[in-house]
Structure formats: structure tokens, C-alpha cells
Amino acid sequence: MNEKKNLSKKETFDLAVQNHQKNNLDVAENLYKKILEKDPNDFQSICFLGTLSIQIKNFERAKKLLNKAIGIQPNNANVHNNLGIVNNELEEFQTICFLGTLSIRKCFWFAIMFWRLEKILGIFYETPNRNYY
């Protein structure tokens, strides 16, 4: 398939995803790897190979790939979610708690910054009176 015709990176990736969706995991894996040989920092290929690694229960490789993806796009929620799945499978609960704490801290500081911005700009949001049970 790929050996007979020089496919572009996009064509190779599309073919990998098609095979991945059809559960031809060996073919998809080889195509993702082929892309990564030429472009080791291709975010999509790293993520999809990481996901495929979870599917075939190669959690150590998935962890390595997903950590690399986080290095490229640190705020990607899907990658963090998949890494949480891997850490759960590897029973690395301290890592899960640490990552969760980082996310909670980000939300906390964002809320404080938003509150300060409201005070500075004089923007106040009123919530209607509601009865909560």
C-alpha cells in the first residue's frame, strides 16, 4: 500500500486513521510509526499511536507517547484524559492525583483572576434569587 506509492504525510495519516477505525491495528500502527520516523513531533500521529497503544494494552508506550504529546500541547484535555486512563491502568494513582491537583489549581487561579478582572473593570454579574434544596 504505502510502499508502492509515495503518499503524502496527510494521505498516510488518513490511511492510518481509516485502518485504525476498521480495527486493523497492526497496519495503523505501522503507518503512524512511518509518519513519526520522518516527523518525530507530529502531534496527531503521537496521540493516535498513544491511543492505539492503550487499545492493545501497551501502557508503557502509551504513557511515553502521551507525555511527549503533552510536551507539545500542554493544555490538550484529550491527551490528559488518555494519560489518566494509562496511569489508572498502571496503578500510578499518585500521578493521577498530582495531575488532578494541577488542573484544580489552574481552575482556582483562573477563577481568582476572573474575579479580579471583574472588580477592575466594574463588571458584576447578578444571579437571580433561587431556592436550592
Q: Could you tell me if 36 and 76 lie in one domain?
A: yes
DSSP state of 5: S
pLDDT digits (tens, 9 = 90+) for 72-108: 998 888 888 888 888 888 876 555 455 554 554 455 4
Confidence of residue 19 (pLDDT cuts 50, 70, 90): very high
Whether residue 112 lies inside any domain: the answer is yes
Q: How far is CA 110 from the centre of its chain?
A: 21
Give the model's pLDDT for residue 123: 46
- Mean pLDDT (whole number) for 106-113: 50
The tally of domains found in the chain comes to: 2
In terms of domains, do 72 and 100 share one? Answer: no
- 62/21 same-domain check: yes
CA 41 remoteness from chain centre: 14
How many whole angstroms separate alpha carbon 10 and alpha carbon 45? 10
Range of the domain at 43: 1-91
Is residue 14 located within the same domain as residue 77?
A: yes
pTM (two decimals): 0.67
Q: Within this chain, do residues 97 and 114 fall inside the same structural domain, yes or no?
A: yes
